[in-house]
A = this chain, B = another copy of it.
Amino acid sequence: MDAKTFDAKSLLDTLFDKSILFKTGVDGLYGRSGVFEDVIERFERLVTSIGAPDKATRIHFPPGMSRATLEGSGYMKSFPQLAGCVHSFMGGEREHAQLLGMMAAGEDWTELQQATNVVLTPAACYPLYPTVAARGPVPDDGVLFELSSYCFRHEPSKDPARMQLFRMREFVRIGTAEQVCAFRESWLERGKAMIESLDLPCEVDLANDPFFGRGGKMMANNQRDEGLKFELLIPVTSIEKPTACLSFNYHRDHFGQTWGLKFADGSLCHSACVGFGLERVALALFRHHGPEVEAWPASVRDTLWGN
Contacts and interface: CB of A to CB of B under 8 A. Distances in A.
Interface of A: 22-26, 29-34, 36-37, 57-69, 71, 76-77, 80-93, 96, 99-100, 103, 108-111, 113-118, 120, 127-128, 130-131, 134, 146, 150, 152, 154, 156, 163-166, 212-214
Given A32-B59, A57-B34, A152-B64, A100 B77 contact: yes
Given A26-B67, A29-B117, A76-B99, 18 more contacts: A22-B131, A23-B131, A24-B130, A24-B131, A25-B66, A26-B66, A33-B60, A34-B57, A62-B166, A64-B152, A80-B91, A85-B110, A85-B113, A86-B120, A86-B154, A87-B113, A87-B115, A118-B165
Contacts of A58: 33-34, 37
Given A62-B150, A76-B99, A152-B64, A24 B87 contact: no
A146 B37 CA distance: 12
5 contacts: A24-B130, A31-B59, A71-B103, A81-B88, A84-B116
B85 A86 contact: yes
Contact of A62 (B29, B68, B69): B29
A306 to B, nearest CB: 20
Nearest to A154: B88
A52 B58 CA distance: 29
Number of copies: 2
B88 A24 contact: no
A114 to B, nearest CB: 8
Given A24-B131, A88-B83, A99-B80, A63 B93 contact: no
A64 B163 CA distance: 11
Contact of A31 (B30, B85, B131, B150): B131
Contacts of A131: 22-24, 31
A210 to B, nearest CB: 14
Nearest to A31: B61
Given A87-B87, A164-B118, A76 B61 contact: no
Contacts of A24: 61, 65-66, 69, 127, 130-131
B31 A154 contact: no
A109 to B, nearest CB: 8
B29 A93 contact: no
